[in-house]
Amino acid sequence: MTIAGRALPKGRYGSRGRAPSRRTYWIVGGAAVVVGGVIAYLAYTNLGSAPIETERTSYSNLPGNTMQMSFTITRDHPDRPAVCIVRVRGRDGAEGGRKEVFIPPGGTTTSATTIIRSTTEPVVADVFGCSYQVPPYLSTPTRPSG
């Protein structure tokens, strides 16, 4: 081996070895495409728009550590029932009460109002989340009290 006209000492720098075969390039390229596809799918399912979106419209304190809350629900499948979990929090930010609210099938955008009881004096109410996975006890005609 020579560099700029000079001969290099044998064994000092090692050999270049074999170049990767075309098959190796195809395997690495195919693996990169599969990994990229998995990442794109996960990003689409986790970062895409939510199937149910909510917005709190109002809340007000009631006597006896209770709070009334109104919110709107916008969903992509208005023909399906949904359930929303609403909660109240106290002055320290800790959750004082929570309630599941059944949202019957209806229009794309609907409104709901509920009363939430709290263990402490509530200062704020919000929607924790909504889902189409309605528990059986909420969708039956005989609903639990509370």
Per-domain residue ranges for the chain?
A: 17-48, 52-139
For residue 58, the tally of other CB atoms under 10 A from its CB is 10
pLDDT tier at 145, thresholds 50, 70, 90: low
Q: What is the pLDDT of residues 45-73, one digit of tens each?
A: 777 667 888 999 999 999 988 999 999 99
Q: Which residue has the tokens 């009631």?
A: 62
Decide if 140 contacts 119 (C-beta within 8 A): no
Query: What is the C-alpha to C-alpha distance for residues 97 and 118, in angstroms, rounded to an integer?
Result: 4
Q: What topology is assigned to 52-139 in CATH?
A: Immunoglobulin-like (2.60.40)
pLDDT exceeds cutoff 80 at 12: no
DSSP 45-84: HHHS--SEEEEEEEEEEETTTEEEEEEEEEES-TTS-EEE
81: helix, strand or coil: coil
For residue 68, the tally of other CB atoms under 10 A from its CB is 14
Q: Which residue has the tokens 């970062």?
A: 47
pTM, 2 dp: 0.63
Q: Which residue has the tokens 């939510």?
A: 50
Residues 99, 102, 106, 108, CA torsion sign? positive
* DSSP classification of residue 120: S
